[in-house]
Amino acid sequence: MITQPNIPRLLASIQTELTENVLPKIDDATTKVNVEMMTALLSALTIRTENEIAWMLEESAAIEAAADELLPNLPDTEAATTALEAHRASPPESMRLSHVTESYQRASELLSLLIEAAYSSGDEQAITTVQGLVNARLSIEQEAIGEFIAVGRD
């Protein structure tokens, strides 16, 4: 199969073509805004295609580790415990994006349940731990999209 130029490189080429050669020739305001949206999306997709699978696997592992640490010490964790078991019972079938995404969604639900359990307990240390997981997810999201400036608002 063809791997070079890789997907991020190809997406970057499309983005450059749209920005430098297509956009300046568009007179219609609505079409211009749509193309500006496309280039912003392509910028994020370029980063996502390079990193997304690794990011999902790494974050899933971190959530799992946090669950192991938190669940024995928190009350009312039946739902989170069940979610942890479900996550462990169904690792990704392959490294295909769809399979990793399915597994990541189970990890995300586990994180959501950990957040609820932490806040319900009022345990400050547990709350700090789940906030750290949310902050870590946020850092990855920001790496993917960069600064978001709404296009076409003038």
Partner 1 sequence: MFETNTAGIGGTLLEPSELPGRLETFLSTRWADGAPVAVSNYAEITGGYSRYMARFTASHGAESNEFVLRADPPPGQSILDTDRTAEWNLVQAVMANGGVTVPKGLWFDESGDELGSPGIIFELISGDTLYVHTQEGEADSHQQFTAPLADLFAGVHAIDTITLPAEMERPASWSSYIDGNVARWAEAEGGHAESDPFMRAVAAWLDTNRPPEAPLGLVHGDLQAPNILVQEGTGDFYLLDWELSRVGDPREDLGWWALACRSQPPDLIAADSDAFYARYREKSGLSEDIVNPATVAYFTVLSSISVFSSVIGQTASMSRNETTAMGVAYMTNAIPFMHRVFVEAMGEAGGWQEETK
Residues engaged in binding partner 1 (CB under 8 A): 29-30, 32-34, 37-38, 40-41, 44, 62, 105, 108-109, 111-113, 115-116, 118-119, 128-139, 141-142, 144-145, 148-154
Shortest approach of partner 1 to residue 3 CB, angstroms? 26
- The Cα–Cα gap between 23 and 98 comes to 33
Shortest approach of partner 1 to residue 140 CB, angstroms? 9
C-alpha R_g of the chain: 20
**SS3 assignment, position 36:** helix
Residue closer to partner 1 by CB (options 10, 42) is: 42
What is the identity of the amino acid at 104? Y
Residue closer to partner 1 by CB (options 16, 131) is: 131
- The Cα–Cα gap between 71 and 88 comes to 15
CB 133 within 8 A of CB 66: yes
Shortest approach of partner 1 to residue 94 CB, angstroms? 19
- The Cα–Cα gap between 5 and 32 comes to 28
Shortest approach of partner 1 to residue 95 CB, angstroms? 19
Residue closer to partner 1 by CB (options 5, 120) is: 120
